[in-house]
Amino acid sequence: MRRLRLAILISGRGSNMESLLHAARDPAYPAEPVLVLSNRPDAKGLLTAEAAGIPVAAIDHKTYGKDREAFEYHVDATLRGAGVEIIALAGFMRVLTPWFVSRWEGRMINIHPSLLPKHKGLDTHQRALDAGDTEAGCSVHWVSAGVDEGEIISQASVPILPGDTADTLAARVLPEEHKLYPKALALACAQIAEKL
Ligand code: GAR
């Protein structure tokens, strides 16, 4: 199978990005990272990607003020310039407009730290605790116009234990994210390849 040209979009630490880069070191992995892009020029993940020899780009959303589409136009042009075929959002903390989503629909996936459809948006672990949930987890889904609402590709769950805080729960979920995302991205690539 031909490897799809992958862009990973980040905003910070980039540990999920790292797990994707690690998986893609296998030449048989169905995606080939060609770009890591951040909306924050100081994102730690950019340094990690550079050290791994992956081309990086920083497009600071603050430069564009409230004009989300102007920011996204620049992101879109950069992705297309790099010949990107699939996007993995990995801790990318900007809500994307319907314009951008429609440009990449069926080609863009996201990882979210909850068992969707539960706890869309932010503060997912605290909200799982507040709701009295007995389990938490992470989901990888196709990105659609509704935030965290696209079709789910794959999920992983962990138990919520007595005495858990948002931090202890996040620490239990994160390793599951790192295992889940490369597998889910491979599934997404297979679905795209079927349509090619
Ligand atoms: C991850 O837990 C990811 O699921 C979450 O941000 C963290 C990024 O960590 N994403 C979202 O909350 C998206 N709404 P990382 O930069 O180390 O991958």
Per-residue model confidence as pLDDT tens for the chain (196 residues): 799 999 999 999 999 999 999 999 999 999 999 999 999 999 999 999 999 999 999 999 999 999 999 999 999 999 999 999 999 999 999 999 999 999 999 999 999 999 999 999 999 999 999 999 999 999 999 999 999 999 999 999 999 999 999 999 999 999 999 999 999 999 999 999 988 7
Contact 37, 78 (CB under 8 A): yes
Q: Return the ligand 1 atom nearest residue 110 CA.
A: 13
Which residues are near ligand 1 (CB < 6 Å)?
10, 12-16, 45, 90-91, 111-113, 174, 177
- Measured in Å, residue 91 CA sits from the centre of ligand 1 at 4
Exactly one of 22, 61, 74, 112 is catalytic; name it.
Answer: 112
Q: Return the ligand 1 atom nearest residue 174 CA.
A: 2
How far apart CA 177 and CA 165 sit, in angstroms, is 18
One DSSP character per residue, 89-147 reads ESS--SPPPHHHHHHHTTSEEEEESS-TTSS-SS-HHHHHHHTT-SEEEEEEEE--SST
- Measured in Å, residue 52 CA sits from the centre of ligand 1 at 20
How far apart CA 150 and CA 146 sit, in angstroms, is 7
Superfamily classification of domain 4-195: Formyl transferase, N-terminal domain (3.40.50.170)
- pTM of the full structure: 0.98
